[in-house]
Amino acid sequence: MGTIRHHFKHSVAAVSLIVTFSLPFGVRADETGDLLQQLQQADAAEAARIEREIARSWSKSGSAAMDLLLKRGRDALDIDNLEAAIEHLTALTDHAPEFAEGFHTRAMAYFKADLIGPALGDLERVLELNPQHFGAIRGLAVVFETLGDETRAYEAYEMVLRLHPHDEEAQKGVERLRTGVQGQEL
């Protein structure tokens, strides 16, 4: 048990470092770079459209077979068939280890299955591949909040808002955690 706890702490620390240091020092350019810039400037209605466009772009692996595995994994996840979702998504990540969205979706399945360590490992991989993946950073915030680490959760939600200022879940997370992290104004 001590070895697992020790490894888990290192995973959390590694993911925190990746998120903390990846974003400010420049990120890898990809085909969504312009959309991400537009997202930061958009009003709420336009932001929703741009977010959908980014999600569509991130969901394209370049292979019909890999896209089918992603769809099957998401479909299984939607009906809470977590075992099937993890199987499909593991096949996807095995065959397409550079496809961030496969790891992101599997992280969600792992989290729903209460497999926090594997979820963190997959979120770490997503952020190695795509440091601006605001969904993965939001997922990291949710994991930290679930673990009771309000400070890191708050920081991750704020990172999401720097990338996607209209992200409702991140806005709610910041509001929910603000007093506990920053204290109450007198």
- Give the domain CATH number at 165: 1.25.40.10
**DSSP-derived 3-state class of residue 37:** helix
**Residue 147 covered by a domain:** yes
State the pLDDT at residue 31: 67
Output the pLDDT for position 17.
Answer: 40
The tokens of 61 are what?
């692996």
**Domain count for the chain:** 1
The whole-angstrom separation of Cα 71 and Cα 32 is: 21
Domain hosting residue 139, numbered range:
35-178
Mean pLDDT computed over every residue of the chain:
85
62 DSSP 8-state letter: S
Q: Which amino acid is residue 146, in one-letter code?
A: T
Does 30 map to a domain? no
Q: How is residue 99 annotated by DSSP?
A: -
> Is 26 among the domain residues?
no
Determine, yes or no, domain membership for 46: yes
Within a domain: 95:
yes
User: Would you say 111 and 139 are in contact if contact means Cβ atoms under 8 Å apart?
Assistant: yes
Residue among 168, 174, 180 at smallest CA distance from 156: 174
Give a yes or no: residue 92 inside a domain: yes
- For 82-124, the pLDDT digits (tens) are 999 999 999 999 999 999 999 999 999 999 999 999 999 999 9
Domain membership of residue 18 (yes or no) is no
Residue 7 resides in a domain: no
> pLDDT digits over 123-170, tens only?
999 999 999 999 999 999 999 999 999 999 999 999 999 999 999 999
* Percent of the chain scoring above 70 in pLDDT: 82
